[in-house]
Amino acid sequence: MAAVRVGSILILACAIAGLAACGDDKKAAGAKGGATVTIGIAAPLTGPQSHIGKDLENAVRLAAEDANAAKVVVGGKPVHFEVQAEDDQADPKMAPVVAQKLADARVAAVVGHFNSGTTIPASRIYNDAGIPQISPSATNPKYTEQGFKTAFRVVANDNQQGKVVGEYIARELKSKALAIIDDRTAYGQGVADVVERSAKAAGANVVAREFTTDRSTDFKAILTKIKGTRPDVIFFGGIDTQAGPMLQQMRGLGIEAQFVGADGIQSTELFKLGGNAVEGTLASFPGLPLERMPQGASFGERYRKKWNQDVVLYAPQGYDAFNVFVEAMKRAGSTDPAKFLPEVAKTDYNGITGPIRFDEKGDLKDGPITIFKAVGGKWQALATIGGPSQGQGAKAAEKN
Amino acid sequence: MDILLQQLINGVTLGSVYALVALGYTMVYGIIGLINFAHGELVMVGALTALSVIAALLRLGLGLPPAAMMLIALLAALPVCMLLAYAMERVAYRPLRRAPRLAPLITAIGVSIVLQNVAMLVWGRSYFSFPPILSVTNYDVAGATITDLQILIVLLSAALMAGLLLIVHRTRLGLAMRATAENLGVAALMGVDANRIIVAAFLLGSALAAVAGLMVSAYYGIAHYYMGFLLGLKAFTAAVLGGIGNIGGAMLGGLLLGVIESLGAGYIGDLTGGFLGSNYQDVFAFMVLVVVLTIRPSGLLGERVSERA
């Protein structure tokens, strides 16, 4: 009996040791004589928002490939870039787990996360570990209001985006009855609140405020309730995975209102998710349209050639985020996060999305907001507000 | 007032789907006293199989009319679901026929998890959108809108339920099922092959689940590996609401639950003065279950469980 006991304990111990040994083998695939730098990308790679997360991962991998091909030299030594992609499933509970994993792997920097709801909790971990983090897409203002020196973003935030959308609804669409739905995530709720405030301030009348979750597929009940208030505009703060079915169900209920969303729905995937119901939808984006980005068209081409699909949503921003890190490393002459972090804050870089400079909180300076309309299965840019050429706060709408 | 009608239309449509799935739960429970928690996963497999078939048909570019594609998808999903249900019964539940009640219950939960993960491996974790092959036409009914898909769902569900009632009350199989449900031991003494009847119950339930899966994915335009969980839970709730083991109860419970959920989600904001929003729509259905069971534990139409000697 005792022998069996000892035996089984020994086997168990060996098994545990074995498991521990096959942990992450982060052996440098190694440039000869140079350093290997790993940059992390954290995004929803599985689940309902996986198409957007994969898009970001593709962009970062493309950027790493380009950087490796360009034989980047930092501090006199050639550097080889590796990418570590982690899946946060768009879940605020998974985000800190993923962030800790990346921090433990000692990545030099992180492009991530995608959702505001995941970026904000993760940012605390990166801040504690001193890892610079650029989110290519999180728009909730709270992300940069936490006072973390490591938190940056290369898009405008929802205070600007929501304001533009709210004012557009009130002034351009001249809405008399605005209904607002949000998915109760940090992002959806945040942008919907700002839109409500701005629209009201600009004279619109909000007739309904309904909620859903970011995993729902049945919106008939809330849409029916909204139908009773006879809205002319419906704003949805949420992601394309919900917006598609929501639009279909809206049209199925005979609701003719104008559907407006923010950056979460402005993806190329929305047309597949919503079919014909998407036609005429308006959506904002905290950046320029791809074809008006300084190197947008060529990036779009290269992306399509490499990944056999079009850019989904935030790929250009992901690409630029990676390169901001590379540029900061070059300027600091070091791949050590402690050394190049201050350089990130001083970035003055012309990326493919446009000029990138950060303010003292880590927000993008002079970030433009574009309003798109869904026409014939594609997004067409209607107007761009703000941006470096017009300066902060100027509302000169450049009509295409 | 027209909102109420609209909510009712939505509710009845949703309820028809719940009723179809609830029947699967109720039939199995009535005969062997097992709550087949994996039944929701049968709906999910039916939905994803149908979706894959339609996507494949579209890729082949045969130019078939949408009705034909839906029919082919259904004919493909039915055997898959029925086979899966048969496998579940033989592999997971039959060996535990004599075991204490807890064992098959936990096994059912295990089967549910296994099926979810298998589906995840086969179909991936992203949400699949139902191909836009259905052109939906709206009909205006006294201020509310009803789509032809909704009408189809309600009518098809009603027809299937009528068919099931016909089988159960007018055929020998149905007689045998009712006998087995009443008392398995005595039915066996009367010459009823209990195993065959139990398999029949599983097959019938899974066939309805396959149809329900196709309907749900067409109605909401979306299907994914996890969709069976909440749907199954709500359908089970509906079965209990109407009286578990009672076929009429499952139908009534399903319809009632659908209507309550639609009305609840619509009016919950007003009822709670803005404290709870419409994102609590799922909670509403379960709250109703708690209330009904507290007042009438055997469900609305009374439960029908086999008498254990």
Residue B60 maps to a domain: yes
Instruction: Show the domain range for B201.
Output: 2-129+145-295
- Across the interface, whether the CB atoms of A251 and B136 are under 8 A apart is answered yes
Q: CB–CB of A221 and B264 under 8 A?
A: yes
Residue A24 has pLDDT above 50, yes or no: no
How would residue A19 be classed by pLDDT, with cut points 50, 70 and 90? low
On chain A, the residues whose CB falls within 8 A of the CB of B7 are 221, 224-225
CA distance A320 to chain B (A): 26
Considering only CB atoms, A217 lies closest to which of B150, B220, B262, namely: B220
Residue B7: which of A212, A221, A252 has the nearest Cβ?
A221
Determine whether the interchain pair B278/A217 forms a contact, defined as Cβ–Cβ distance below 8 Å. no
Model pLDDT for residues A133-161, shown as the tens digit of each residue: 999 999 999 999 999 999 999 999 999 99
Q: Does domain A159-285+369-399 have CATH number 3.40.47.10?
A: no
Contact B7 A211 (CB under 8 A): no
Residues of chain A with CATH 3.40.50.2300: 35-155+292-357, 159-285+369-399
The verdict on residue B220 lying in a domain is: yes
User: Hey, which of A20-29, A387-396, B232-241, B275-284 has the most confident mean pLDDT?
Assistant: B232-241
Residues composing chain A: 400
Give CA separation, B256 vs A194, B12, B166, B208, B292, in Å: 39, 8, 22, 19, 12
d(CA A118, CA A124): 11
Q: Do B3 and A50 touch (CB under 8 A)?
A: no
Q: How far is CA A313 from the centre of its chain?
A: 8
Which of A47, A212, A248 is opposite residue B221, by nearest beta carbon? A248
Nearest CA to B206 among B65, B32, B82, B68?
B82
**Which residues in chain A have their CB less than 8 angstroms from residue B3's CB?**
224-225, 227-228
Choose, out of A57, A214, A220, A270, the residue to mutate when testing the contact with B (most B CBs < 10 Å): A220
Q: Which of B4-13, B177-186, B271-280 has the lowest mean pLDDT?
A: B271-280
Q: Which of B10, B125, B127 sits opposite A224 (nearest CB)?
A: B10
pTM: 0.83
B127 with A48: Cβ contact below 8 A:
yes
**What is the mean predicted confidence (pLDDT) over B136-165?**
90
For residues A246 and A236, the answer to whether their CB atoms sit within 8 Å is: yes
Q: A41 with A86: CB under 8 angstroms? A: yes
Is residue B137 one of the residues assigned to a domain? no
DSSP character at residue A146: T
| Inter-chain CB proximity A218 and B220 less than 8 Å | yes
Answer yes or no: is B208 within a domain. Answer: yes
Chain A interface residues (partner B, CB cutoff 8 A): 46-48, 50-51, 184, 210-213, 216-218, 220-222, 224-225, 227-228, 241, 244-245, 248-249, 251-254, 272-276
Q: Please state, rounded to an integer, the average pLDDT across all residues of chain B.
A: 89
Interface size between A and B, measured as CB pairs under 8 A: 101
CATH tag, A35-155+292-357: 3.40.50.2300
Q: What is the mean pLDDT of residues B244-251?
A: 89
Per-residue pLDDT at B127: 85
Does the distance separating the beta carbons of B277 and A211 come in below 8 Å? yes
Say if the Cβ atoms of A221 and B262 lie within 8 Å. yes
Give the pLDDT of residue A398: 40
Q: How far apart are the first and last CA of chain B?
A: 53
Digit-coded pLDDT (tens) for A82-136? 999 999 999 999 999 999 999 999 999 999 899 999 999 999 999 999 999 999 9
* Local confidence band at A2 (pLDDT 50, 70, 90 cut-offs): low
The residue among A379 and A24 whose pLDDT is bigger is: A379
- Indicate which CATH number applies to the domain containing B82: 1.10.3470
Which among A210, A258, A257 is positioned nearest to A238, based on CA atoms?
A210
pLDDT, averaged across chain A: 88
Lowest mean pLDDT of A108-112, A166-170, B76-80, B120-124, name the range. B120-124
Query: What is the rounded distance in angstroms from the CA atom of residue B255 to the CA atom of residue B149?
Result: 17
Span A370-393, pLDDT tens digits: 999 999 999 999 999 887 754 433
CB A399 within 8 A of CB A382: yes
Hey, are the CB atoms on B266 and A225 less than 8 Å from each other? yes
For residue A261, the SS3 value is strand
A chain contacts of residue B145, beta-carbon cutoff 8 Å: 252-254
Contacting residues of B for A231, CB less than 8 Å apart: none
Contact present, B177 and B168 (Cβ < 8 Å):
yes
Taking residues A238-251, report their average pLDDT: 92
The answer to whether position B166 is within a domain reads: yes
pLDDT score recorded for residue A400 = 38
Sheet holding A35-43, edge to edge: A73-74, A77-87, A35-43, A109-112, A133-135, A151-153
pLDDT at A335 over 50: yes
What is the number of domains present in chain B?
1
| Pairing mode of beta strands A398-399, A378-385 | antiparallel
Q: Which residues of A touch B221 (CB under 8 A)?
A: 217, 244-245, 248, 273-275
B306, part of any domain: no
Reported as a single tens digit per residue, the pLDDT across A43-85 is: 999 888 989 999 999 999 999 999 999 999 998 889 999 999 9
Q: Side chain identity at A88, as an amino acid letter?
A: D
Percent of chain B residues past pLDDT 90, beyond the cut: 57
Distances (CA, A) of B238 to A82, B115, B241: 52, 22, 5
pLDDT of A228 higher than 90: no
Asked if pLDDT for residue A34 goes beyond 80, the answer is no
Residues of B in contact with A236 (CB under 8 A): none
Residues in contact with B127: Cβ distance below 8 Å, sequence separation at least 6, in sequence order: A47, A48, A241, B222, B223, B224
Per the structure block, which two tokens stand in for A161?
Answer: 């985006």
CA dist A111 and A344 (Å) reads 13
Residue pLDDT, tens place only, B49-105: 999 999 999 988 888 888 899 999 999 999 999 999 999 999 999 999 889 989 999
Beta bridge partners of A356: A349
Closest-approach residue (CA) in chain A for B140 = A254
Model confidence pLDDT, tens digit, residues B255-299: 999 999 888 887 777 777 766 777 777 787 788 888 888 998 888
Secondary structure, 3-state, B224-260: CCCHHHHHHHHHHHHHHHHCCCCHHHHHHHHHHHHHH
User: Which of chain B's residues have a Cβ under 8 Å away from the Cβ of A274?
Assistant: 221
Amino acid at B22: A
Whether the pLDDT of residue A162 is over 50: the answer is yes
Interface test with B, best of A54, A209, A217 (most B CBs within 10 A): A217
- The DSSP secondary-structure symbol of A263 reads G
Which pLDDT belongs to residue B246?
85
